[in-house]
Chain A
Amino acid sequence: DGGITQSPKYLFRKEGQNVTLSCEQNLNHDAMYWYRQDPGQGLRLIYYSQIVNDFQKGDIAEGYSVSREKKESFPLTVTSAQKNPTAFYLCASSGLGGRYEQYFGPGTRLTVT
């Protein structure tokens, strides 16, 4: 099946620990994105990458880091510097060109206590 996979679906961590969320796509898409969603709110952009080895900060990049070493993979690390890391994290990808729709993964729900 073609699509975007995110793992794990639920993740629990202790405060002060870094945690890396996985995102893989087999759609041959050039661009990939990470969004964060808090309860009752819309999605907010954390980071995005248009090509391998390049990425840009979104609106709420502080406390997060990413890498894009392969076209298929765009992992997100939530560092201990992120003050409120508990949230629903969504990964997406799209082909080049603004008219191409974004496809989203199923999300990872991170809880930090």
Chain B
Amino acid sequence: DAKTTQPTSMDCAEGRAANLPCNHSTISGNEYVYWYRQIHSQGPQYIIHGLKNNETNEMASLIITEDRKSSTLILPHATLRDTAVYYCIVRVATKGNTPLVFGKGTRLSVIA
């Protein structure tokens, strides 16, 4: 699986959009980009995933560049409850399941 690079930490004002970047320059054509987040002392929570098109759901939007070498997770109106570690993961799409490989992620602090 391709490696990802994320900033160690970011701050965001409450009510503003939080834009979390991720670099995955060695991504292959059959690899999806996944985003998870982990609130302190809880299990990680799935947010969104995509292959090449931009995706949106009730939690966030995922913008993937045309060359697929980077992506941005957007939380449109961050709240204090969005304070968490956010993980960007690249995963091969195969018939069987491949485990997720977690890096250290980005620690997002939403500030009142």
A42–B97 Cα gap in the complex (Å)?
A: 20
A58–B97 Cα gap in the complex (Å)?
A: 13
A80–B91 Cα gap in the complex (Å)?
A: 33
Q: What number of A-B contacts does a CB cutoff of 8 Å give?
A: 68
Q: Which secondary structure characterizes the binding site on chain B?
A: loop
Chain A residues contacting B44 (CB-CB under 8 Å) are 43, 90, 92, 102, 104
Q: List 17 A-B contacts (CB under 8 A).
A: A4-B43, A33-B100, A43-B44, A88-B41, A90-B44, A92-B43, A96-B96, A96-B97, A97-B95, A97-B96, A98-B93, A98-B98, A99-B93, A101-B46, A105-B43, A106-B43, A107-B42
Extra contacts, 16 of them, besides A35-B102, A96-B97, A98-B32 (Cβ < 8 A), are A4-B43, A30-B97, A33-B99, A43-B100, A48-B97, A50-B96, A92-B44, A96-B95, A97-B96, A97-B97, A98-B97, A101-B46, A102-B100, A104-B44, A104-B45, A106-B42
